[in-house]
Homo-oligomer: A and B are copies of this chain.
Amino acid sequence: MAATDDGSLQRLVGALQRLPGVGVRSAARMAYHLLLHDRSGALELAHALRQAAESVRHCALCHTLCEQEVCATCADPNRDASQLCVVENPADQAAMERAGIYQGRYFVLMGRLRPLEPQDAQAPGWHALQQRVQTDAALRELIVATSFTVEGEATAHALAQLGRALGLRVTRLARGVPLGSELEFVDPGTLAHALADRRPV
Contacts and interface: CB of A to CB of B under 8 A. Distances in A.
Interface in A108-134: 108, 110-111, 124
Contact of A29 (B21, B52, B65): B21
B32 A89 contact: yes
- Most-contacted residue by chain B among A8, A41, A59, A68 (CB, 10 A): A8
Given A9-B65, A33-B19, A56-B9, A45 B49 contact: yes
A41 B71 CA distance: 25
A73 B21 contact: no
A66 B10 CA distance: 10
Interface residues of A, number: 66
Nearest to A39: B53
A119 B59 CA distance: 50
A7 B67 contact: yes
Given A38-B18, A90-B1, A94-B1, A8 B48 contact: yes
A72 interface: yes
Number of copies: 2
B56 A52 contact: no
A44 interface: yes
A20 interface: yes
A29 B90 CA distance: 11
Nearest to A44: B15
Given A32-B110, A39-B53, 12 more contacts: A2-B97, A3-B94, A5-B71, A6-B71, A15-B44, A19-B45, A31-B52, A34-B49, A35-B53, A42-B50, A45-B49, A46-B47
Interface of A: 1-9, 11-12, 14-16, 18-21, 25-26, 28-39, 41-53, 55-56, 59, 64-68, 71-73, 89-91, 93-94, 97, 108, 110-111, 124
6 contacts: A4-B73, A6-B71, A8-B56, A11-B48, A35-B53, A49-B49
